[in-house]
Every structure is written in structure tokens, then in C-alpha cells.
Structure 1
Amino acid sequence: MKILILNESRHTGLHAHTEKRCAVSPSTVSKLVRKGLVVFIEKGAGLLSHYNDSEFESAGATLIDTADEIASEIDVLACVNAPNKLMVSTLPAHTVVIGHLDPFFQKSLVNQFAESNITALSVEMIPRSSRAQKMDALSSQASLAGYVMVMKAASRLPSILPMMMTPSGTIKPAKVFVIGAGVAGLQAIATAKRLGANVLAYDTRPVVAEQVESLGGKFLNVDIGETGQTKDGYAKELTDEQKAILAEAQKEAIQSSDIVITTAQLFGRKPPLLISKDTLSTMKPGSVVVDMAALSGGNVEGSSPGETVKINDVCVIGTGNWSEEVSRAATDMYANNIYNLLDEFIKDDPPAFQLSFDDDILAASVITHDGKVTNQLLIKSYEGA
């Protein structure tokens, strides 16, 4: 069984940025080789995550100059991001493609997978269940994003996060407000608290209040009526009336904060607008806002995808690709997610990927198979588009 790992800094695919992460680490290559897989890696695949070719070679991988050398012979293509259409066209039928495929917004690519008779597995679709935790790449990368966003904000703030008492006077701790207490938000809360800030957080799911408080943060209670979460643990979309009530309730918290971090994203849909320019104008000069969702539509009015901008002397960070800022840690975590997925479903001797739609993980995450789109959520989304 042959698996191909791309040097994704060469393959921009659907995204214009240069990818710094890799789908394997030397450690996971060793484990894949022990399972009987032949691992082909494009030269330079790990350089931006600070792994040299020699480390992969020592782990048992076969280095190749370009993916074209082996693409027509492989069984599995493991990626961080979706491969570009040219790469897909070189893959043999029945290849298993695994990665962040962004399927709700990449209909033409998904259709190409189906037409090419490729089995595409989108890691974003892996369910949030106990059994799937070790494969949940969305959560592993979001956790790193929460850490990175706090560090970026701290580096831009013209003050410090912890209280400091000196003979020259006392500096009060910074106030950090985190909107959204999912995986990224909780890590942002924990990181800001460890750095000594006073942390306030809000989420539309009251059930997470206990998690926020367990990390040392305070939870902002706002009565906007019935909210809750989906079966996969995502926040449900609010009505326009609920959004208006929430915006007004959060305004005071935003005004008094030194740092605001927004992490609200809706699975398969455009993220909600949480902070208007009018609200930004009420913040203290030098305040910092980090918009986690800037690349996909933005939580903050005026945030610029991939950039840091000033709005009324407030620094608004929308650079995105957060986990890549710590590319080695991100690679290690993602590589483990991919290994655990393969380890779960590659069986027998010689090894082969065992596909069963009776398995809840595969039923949720496999989006194309046997010449058609198989995921019902995607099918409904495409029909309604």
C-alpha cells in the first residue's frame, strides 16, 4: 500500500497562501512504515515545519522530487489542505484522499473527486465523539489557534497582560474578552489567564459556562432566549432578534476590554458579524481585536482577510492560518490525527483501507465514493445553493 505526502509549500491548491504544515512527522512515518505502508514524500515537505528530508528518510520514507513520479500508482494521498485540480486529475480511481477539503465551499472540487471515482475524506467532517477525538484535526488545530491568537494580541498591545506592582507604581492586569468558548476559545481563555489577564468570555451555549470558569475566566450571562448546540457540539445559528440583543449586551464588555478575541464560526456557513465599526469606535485607543473568522467572512466589521489593520486606533488582526504560526507543533498534532485515522481503518496483510459506511466516523467524514457524493449534509447544501 502506497501513501503520498505532498510538499504543500509547492502546491497552493485552493488557497493562495504558502502552507507551512505537513501531513506527517518523522515519528508518524516510522509508525506507518511499521504497519507495512510505503511512504513517498516530496522533497522539502517538512522544511517549513522544521523537519529536514533526512529525518523523514531515516524514518523509512522514500523521497521523491515531484509528486508526478508516483501519483498514478498511489493508494492514499494525505494532505493538510485540499489538493489542486491538476493533482486530482493525476490520481488513479479509488485513491483515498484525506485532508481539509473545505467541501461546503468547494463544490467543483468535490464533484471532480466524484467524477474521478476517488474516495475523499474531509477531516473537518470527523464527528466530535469520544472514539474520534484522536483523529479530530479540526480541534487539534483550533486549540493551537487559540494560543496563537492570544500571543499575537499580546505582542500588539501597548501594555502588559499581568498585574505588575513596582516601586514606580502598579499596572493593572489587562482585560481580555473572548467571544466563543469552543476549542479555540477555551484555549485562548486558558492562555490569557496563564499570562495574568482578567478574562471574561461569552458563548451562546450556557453549557460551556462551567468550562470557562474552570479555566479561571468569568462567564458573561446574557438572556437571549433558547440557544443550545448541535449534536456535534457546535453553536446553533441565532435569529436576527437574538443577534441584536447579544450585540447590545456585549458592547459594554467590548468597550472596557484591552483585547477582544472572536472565535465564532458556523460549520459550513458564513460566520456571524459580532462587532460593528461603531462598537470598535468605542474601544480604548491601542486596544486589540483578533478576528479568528476573518478569512471566511469575519466576525468583525472592517477586518481584512490575511491582514492586520487599524480602525479608529484599534488594531484588528485578521491574519488567519493561526496554527501555522507554530508550524512544528501544528504538524506534530495533525500528523498524529492522520496516523490515528489510518491506523483505525487500514487493516489486513497486505494492508488496505477498509471502508464501511456502517462506521459512524467514515459515514460522517467520507464525502465522495464510488463515483458520487455520499455525504447527505453536502448533498442538501448543494441542492439549496
Structure 2
Amino acid sequence: MIIAVPKETGKLEKRVALIPETAKQLVDKDFEVWIEKDAGHASNFLDSAFEEAGAQIVADRDKLFSKADLLLSINTPPEEDLGKLQKGSVLVCFLWALQNEDTVDKLQQQGITALGMDAVPRISRAQNMDALSSMSSIAGYKSALIGANELDRYLPMMMTAAGTIAPARVLVLGAGVAGLQAIATTKRLGAKVEAFDIRPEVKEQVESLGASFVEVPDVGEDTQTEGGYAKELSEDKQERQRQVIHEHAKKSNIVITTALIPGKPAPLLITEQMVKDMQPGSVVVDLAAEQGGNCELTEPGENVVKHEVKLIGPLDLPSQLAYHASKLYSKNMLALLDHLIEEGELHFDFEDEITLKTTITHDGEIISPMLKESE
């Protein structure tokens, strides 16, 4: 079996799907591993390291795609490359199937088995395969550093001969993996941290990190999906939520927003009026920028100032820590392959929850329950 890893083509993308360490583990299991030339260069994994691990460096991208039995990537390759995959081959990447129906249709028609790293179920057995959590943790950490760097004041309390400086106030919206890492990082930097989430069950996690939990009274409905994600609230409850956030945002120096709903645009949490009411020089770091943003004024990929507030809309944050992001993703990928491979061959047992939910297409059919439910 030829396991192939292409160089990522995204403008901001610096990660690679396998690192030399995991490539060697696959080579030791008698798989033939092909790495496109310079695929790991941007994340400081050089071709020479892959060669030392026993992988082959392939300069011909067309050959890489056309001969691959199993193609591993970070993002879905461009359509022109997907067309070169042979029928029956397997693609594993961040597919985002709900948002990319045309790509799913193409893979289905082409007879490609496609697995979405973003679709790995959040269950205990799959924790070591959960690339979405790995990348979200990196994004949350980096968002805290961006906020601290953009703010024109200290984060910690400082006692100086000229007087005592109060700690900066940070508000984190969304206490999933990214939010919890943002809380932990800003807390370690010395800020006074508050966090909001529509799921009351995360309160204990927030408080265990030393932050205060902001509650919206009387939400009165189930706020969490089976997979642990936040559900979309009714409009009147969203408005009540925004009123509470408004009061806390006015007092905050940094607001970090992380709220996402799978398959839907990011929920609006910070309105223009809220931004107007924030203190001059405050910073909003919107981690949901790629899905439209949690802030009404966010411009994805841009750093702008509106109403004297800095609005940061970062894209592909994990690539800013490409070395460790690649390392974690590679380990997630290897764990998934270990789950699927039996006696040197990929085995798809759709009675197994991990295999069922992660597989999007197989043998010309839609497998994913998530996609079937959305029809």
C-alpha cells in the first residue's frame, strides 16, 4: 500500500499531515510512504529527515496523487488534484463535508473513500484521533498571545515604584477546547479572566482554570449536542445571551470569541453596539472568523480598528505553530490509521462508531450519518 502525503497548497497553510517520526512507524509496518518534495519544509520537517525515516521523496505531484492508495493531508486538496486519485483510493483530511457538498459529490462519483478528520466523534475511545481538538487547543493558546500582544497594557497586576497597575480583564466566549486553552493561557499571563458558554455543564471546567463563569439565567433548553458541541439557541434566548455578554464586554480589555456550530455560520455574539461600548484600545480576537465571525465587525484575515477597538480576524491559526500542529495532527492521523488497519489493509467496519461517523463516502455511497440527517 502506498501512503502519500502532498504539500499543502493553502496560502497560509504551513502544516504537513505526517512528520518523520510517524512516517517511520508506518514504514516499519511495511507501508510504502511517499512524501511530496518540500511538503514539510514550512513546518521545519525537512526532506532529509523523511528520507532517514525510510520515506520516499516524490517531486512529481501528479504521480503522487495517481499512484496513492491512501492520501493523507491537512486540508482537502484542490479539485484538479482530487481528479487524479484512482477509484477505490482513500483520502483522509479535514473535509468539512456539510460545508462542501460539491466536493463530497465529486468524491462519491469518483469512487473515493473519504474520511473527515473533523468528523471524528468526541468519545473517549477516539480522543487520540481528535485532530479538531488538537488544532483548537493550539488556536486557543495563540489567540491569547495575539490578544496580549495587541493590547497596549500589562496583563498581570504590576506593583511598581510609580504605583500599582491592576490586571487586565479578559472575557472568553465559548468554553470548548479553544476557549479553555485561551482561559488557561491568559490566566497564566496574569489577567483577570471571565468566560461565557451556553452550556452550564462547562462551568466546573472554567472555574478549575481560575476563571469566573458568566451565566445566562433561565436559558431553559438543551444546549449541547451528542458530540459535546454547543447547540443553536432560539432567537429570544440569543438576545438574552447577548445582553449579558454586552455588560461584561464593556468592562473587558480583551475579548476572545471561539463559538462555532458544526455545519452552520458562526453565531453572532458581539454586535457593533457592543464594540462601540467597549473601552478605547480594547481588543477582540475572533477565532470564528473563518466561519463568518462571532463579532459583527470582524473582517476575516484582517486586523482593523473600529470605534477605537482592535478587531483581529485570524485565519488558520494552527499554522502559526506549524511544528507542533503538524506533530499533533500526525499523531492523531496515526491513531486513526491504527484503528482502521488490520493485517496491513484498511478495514471499514461500519458497526464501529468511530469508523461510521468519520467515513464520509465509501464505494460510491454516502456513509456519514451527519450528512444523511442533513438531507
Percent of aligned positions that are identical:
44
2:151 paired residue number = 157
Q: 1:360 aligns with which of 353, 359, 369?
A: 353
Matched residue type, 2:4: L
1:2 paired residue number = 2
2:225 paired residue number = 230
SS at match of 1:97: strand
2:124 paired residue number = 130
1:375 paired residue number = 368
1:279 paired residue number = 274
Q: 1:30 aligns with which of 20, 24, 32?
A: 24
Q: 1:332 aligns with which of 327, 332, 337?
A: 327
- Is the contact between residue 108 and residue 366 of structure 2 (CA under 8 Å) also seen in structure 1? yes
In the alignment, does 2:97 pair up with 1:95?
A: no
| TM-score normalised over the length of structure 2 | 0.98
SS at match of 1:273: coil
Deviation at 1:171, TM superposition (A): 1.0
Deviation at 1:225, TM superposition (A): 2.3
- Is the contact between residue 120 and residue 366 of structure 1 (CA under 8 Å) also seen in structure 2? yes
Matched residue type, 1:236: K
Matched residue type, 1:228: T
CA distance in 1, matches of 2:168, 2:339: 45
1:70 paired residue number = 64
2:178 paired residue number = 184
Q: 2:199 aligns with which of 187, 197, 205?
A: 205
Q: 2:249 aligns with which of 233, 248, 254?
A: 254
Question: CA RMSD of the aligned region, Å?
Answer: 1.0
Deviation at 1:226, TM superposition (A): 2.1
2:101 paired residue number = 107
Deviation at 1:19, TM superposition (A): 1.3
1:143 paired residue number = 137
Deviation at 1:83, TM superposition (A): 1.2
CA distance in 2, matches of 1:71, 1:318: 34
Deviation at 1:376, TM superposition (A): 2.9
CA distance in 2, matches of 1:24, 1:377: 27
Deviation at 1:352, TM superposition (A): 0.9
- Is the contact between residue 204 and residue 227 of structure 1 (CA under 8 Å) also seen in structure 2? no
Matched residue type, 1:373: I
2:318 paired residue number = 323
In the alignment, does 2:42 pair up with 1:44?
A: no
1:57 paired residue number = 51
CA distance in 1, matches of 2:293, 2:215: 24
Matched residue type, 2:305: K
CA distance in 1, matches of 2:173, 2:352: 35
Matched residue type, 2:245: Q
Matched residue type, 2:76: A
Matched residue type, 1:375: S
Matched residue type, 2:372: I
SS at match of 1:289: strand
Deviation at 1:36, TM superposition (A): 1.3
CA distance in 1, matches of 2:212, 2:291: 28
Give CA deviations for 1:319-345 in whole Å, capped at 9, x if unaligned.
221111111110010010011111121
Q: Which runs of 5+ in 1 are unaligned?
A: none
- Is the contact between residue 201 and residue 219 of structure 1 (CA under 8 Å) also seen in structure 2? yes
SS at match of 2:91: strand
Q: 1:294 aligns with which of 285, 289, 295?
A: 289
Deviation at 1:82, TM superposition (A): 0.4
Deviation at 1:369, TM superposition (A): 0.6
Aligned length: 374
| TM-score normalised over the length of structure 1 | 0.95
Give CA deviations for 1:148-180 in whole Å, capped at 9, x if unaligned.
000011110000111110111111111000010
CA distance in 1, matches of 2:254, 2:96: 30
Matched residue type, 1:112: K
SS at match of 1:251: helix
Q: Which runs of 5+ in 2 are unaligned?
A: none
